[in-house]
Structure 1
């Protein structure tokens, strides 16, 4: 079964949060906040979030693995939302104020699968760094 656009975006955020082998409270709260706040999620039934997250984790832990999750998510995304998808993945990875090597590798894997240019991905990454920079 093909994913919906909403499910695909959520899959990419869930995997971004889990890419360092733990999902922090900040990452979980950021995912929920994005779903409630952003126009791209208009019409998504927030009561389905747990179901979608569990389906993502099941797929990742199954035979398809991470590559299968990424392939399914990217295939479900219209081209016009690919930069949005990357921005959401970066947002979740950056939300706990540290990027582990595994998270950087995951973002590279997502970037390689999406049809967005390097200048756009660099701008998205720079924007996230600016938003999450500490004052001290």
Structure 2
């Protein structure tokens, strides 16, 4: 009986190790040139994973990120330009996949919103200072 438990425990440990190694295995991609490999690295670091909130394709381990890394690899090796690859990803997943969205009328708030809030905050701060200064003078 003891031998059966040891075999069962060893089999379970072996399967767990096998699955862990399989899930942590990195993709081994062979590129036709060093330039293609550099382009690949640049693109997967610049494109955001559609499933993950704030991870790029290179850092994400989600299944969609793995599929998109393969897609980027295949497109690079088939001769597509970086812009064609980015356009494909944007057409399929929207501007969300870009860490640096394009400059358009739809993204004005994204580009200028922080500055507008900063100016409004400074104006409110100055108004509070001025009104408090007047209150201090009148109370003396």
Rg: which structure is higher?
2
Task: Please classify the TM superposition score into its range, dividing by the shorter chain length.
Answer: 0.3 to 0.5
Output the TM-score relative to the length of structure 1.
0.32
What's the TM-score, normalizing by structure 2? 0.32
Larger relative contact order (Cα-Cα within 8 Å, sequence gap ≥ 6)? 1
